[in-house]
Amino acid sequence: MYRAPLLPIVLVAFTVSALPANRASAQESVPTGLKIRQVPAKVPPMPFPPNSEARDRVNSIGFLPAGQMSEHDKLLEADAESSIQERTRWSDIAFNEGGWNYRQVVCAAFPNHLFLQFTRNSGTGDVTMFSASIPRHGEGRVRIIPIRRRGYSLFSPAPINAMTISAFNHIRAEEEPAKTPDWLETGLCYAALAGAHPETVLLPDSDPGKFPAPLPATMQIPKQGGAVIRFADVAASPRPMLWTLMFNGKGKLLKATHAPAPLITAKAVPQRIEDVKGKPVPQTIVDLNAPSAQ
């Protein structure tokens, strides 16, 4: 699902409607023997093809425990441990100490990379976590994305951190450039690498009784090109969180924001409707103008 801007559509409609009236006068002003070539409207650069998303109502990223990973991926992890240790040293993460567990982040939008999430839990308030990216075919480098160090964010929260955005752009550049991935899967992968266990709603819930509900995921294509991806992580606690990712026309992530998601709320409005026999029948009406839940 994507949301295209309305202004270009209105302008195109106006141009088409005005064309027949102006065509005769335009042809009269052109010298005999010359042909008029119509220049097609410029299409803004789009890093993700519209309607490329999976059509499931709920989309999420999967996680595999280390014991369920393929033997090939386990070997990749073992070969990359020295590089991971070197890069965690720059962030003052004691990867050389024991107590680490890891699991695979399953991300179909990046088939040429193995994503792992490492965690060391030393008790309440003392959790260290980071994500690691390992190129599958040796074309690229091992990268890490710090999430928490001993219970605290490094520099700034990982979802909006410039280091997270930079690493994500390098990973995308190492993928096969000719293939344009699912826009929603790409956004969910970013959230997972930044420490979330994202799950989002693509299509609105058909059951009006399930409220409050998050807004469905959307992709907007600005007039100048690029893409703005928005989705609410319904699995976040204590309330859904809204992710907004802004890409330029070449697919480079420029900015990421992460804030509590607005919710669609409903309230029951009593109303009496006469049935065919004149008997009062109660009815519940969804009021979309009600104030959002806090």
pLDDT in tens, 57-79: 678 999 999 999 999 999 999 99
- Tokens 């993460």 correspond to 93
Smallest Cα–Cα separation from 3: which of 269, 231, 276, 232?
A: 231
Q: Which of 54-68, 98-112, 134-148, 202-216 has the lowest mean pLDDT?
A: 202-216
What is the distance of C-alpha 159 from the center of its chain?
Answer: 12
pLDDT digits (tens, 9 = 90+) for 268-293: 555 544 443 444 444 433 343 444 44
Establish if 118 belongs to a structural domain: yes
Q: Enter the tokens of residue 35.
A: 């042909």
Residue 143 is part of which domain span?
A: 58-264
The better pLDDT of the pair 204, 228 is held by: 228
The amino acid occupying position 80 is: A
| CA dist., res. 132 & res. 118, Å (int) | 8
| Number of structural domains in the chain | 1
Establish if 212 belongs to a structural domain: yes
What is the distance of C-alpha 281 from the center of its chain?
Answer: 44
Per-residue pLDDT band for 189 (boundaries 50, 70, 90) equals: very high
Q: Is the pLDDT of residue 87 over 60?
A: yes
Smallest Cα–Cα separation from 114: which of 90, 82, 78, 157?
A: 78
Q: Are 202 and 53 in contact (CB under 8 A)?
A: yes
* Mean predicted lDDT score pLDDT of the chain: 78
> In the predicted model, what is the mean pLDDT of residues 94-114?
91
Establish if 271 belongs to a structural domain: no
Q: Which of 27-31, 200-204, 246-250 has the lowest mean pLDDT?
A: 27-31
Is the dihedral angle over the CA atoms 6, 8, 9, 10 positive or is it negative? positive
What is residue 82's predicted lDDT score, i.e. its pLDDT? Answer: 93
pLDDT digits (tens, 9 = 90+) for 230-264: 999 999 988 899 999 999 998 999 999 999 988 76
Q: Enter the tokens of residue 231.
A: 């989705």
Please give the C-alpha separations between residue 254 and each of 177, 228, 250, 259, 274, in angstroms, as whole numbers. Answer: 18, 10, 11, 17, 57
Q: Is the pLDDT of residue 193 over 80?
A: yes
Q: Enter the tokens of residue 229.
A: 């991806």
Establish if 23 belongs to a structural domain: no
Establish if 32 belongs to a structural domain: no
Establish if 36 belongs to a structural domain: no
What is residue 58's predicted lDDT score, i.e. its pLDDT? Answer: 77
Per-residue pLDDT band for 267 (boundaries 50, 70, 90) equals: low
Q: Which segment, 68-72, 118-122, 155-159, 290-294, is predicted with the most confidence on average?
A: 68-72
Q: Is the pLDDT of residue 88 over 60?
A: yes
What is residue 191's predicted lDDT score, i.e. its pLDDT? Answer: 97
Establish if 288 belongs to a structural domain: no
Establish if 6 belongs to a structural domain: no
Per-residue pLDDT band for 122 (boundaries 50, 70, 90) equals: confident
What is residue 12's predicted lDDT score, i.e. its pLDDT? Answer: 32
Q: Is 225 left (phi over 0), alpha (psi -120 to 50) or beta?
A: left
Q: Enter the tokens of residue 237.
A: 């606690």
Per-residue pLDDT band for 51 (boundaries 50, 70, 90) equals: confident
